[in-house]
Amino acid sequence: MAQITLKGNTCHTNGELPTVGSSAPDFRLTTIDLSDVTLAEYAGKRKLLNIVPSLDTPVCAISTQRFNSAMADKPEAVALVISGDLPFAAKRFCGAEEIENVIALSMMRSRNFAKDYGVLITDGPLAGLCGRAVVVLDSDNKVLYTELVPEITQEPNYDAALAALDG
């Protein structure tokens, strides 16, 4: 169990992020068109998982926009923003913000992703959503980089995540 904060108030996640060098847990998440995808859908590509509580918050929106800009010249990689948002809300957000280089995925049908990646918030006002985190995977789904942002209202370390993605 990891300890994080929301505006200085302590809350916890259900576990720890996967360790660098380990194989990433598989997942089943829902796209904005309501189809389900697994990690296998992105086989052969390096992956940046931008894990956020909700796209409806300023920091989550900013991180998605920043990664969207950064991914414009990275055809060998894919960026996924994963949240507890319904696919309809994610689709609206991506359309309004012109998000074209990040794929929005929802935990609508299951919280197993959050549990398996150790980011499920277990107490406090955001219980049931994800803590803010970034996980970078190589093309074989080995974990290259992880960051659990200690304060939910803070942005992740973009430079470190993108450096890990670029290898």
pLDDT in tens, 100-158: 999 999 999 999 999 999 999 999 999 999 999 999 999 999 999 999 999 999 999 99
On whether residue 31 sits in a domain, the answer given is no
On whether residue 145 sits in a domain, the answer given is yes
Q: Tell me, what CATH number does 47's domain have?
A: 3.40.30.10
On whether residue 64 sits in a domain, the answer given is yes
On whether residue 113 sits in a domain, the answer given is yes
Q: pLDDT-based confidence at 28, cuts 50/70/90?
A: very high
On whether residue 86 sits in a domain, the answer given is yes
Task: With a cut of 90, say whether residue 167 has pLDDT above it.
Answer: no
On whether residue 30 sits in a domain, the answer given is no
Is this model's pTM higher than 0.85 or not?
yes
Nearest CA-CA partner of 146 in 75, 47, 76, 56 = 47
On whether residue 104 sits in a domain, the answer given is yes
Cβ-contact 85, 99 below 8 angstroms: no
Measured between alpha carbons, how far is residue 151 from residues 31, 59, 106, 132, 133 in Å?
27, 11, 22, 8, 10
Question: How many domains does the chain divide into?
Answer: 1
Q: Is 60 a catalytic residue?
A: yes
Cβ-contact 110, 28 below 8 angstroms: yes
Catalytic residue from among 11, 60, 94, 130: 60
On whether residue 32 sits in a domain, the answer given is no
pLDDT in tens, 57-75: 999 999 999 999 999 999 9
Question: Average pLDDT of the chain?
Answer: 96
* % of the chain with per-residue pLDDT over 90: 99
Structural domain containing residue 154: 3-20+41-166
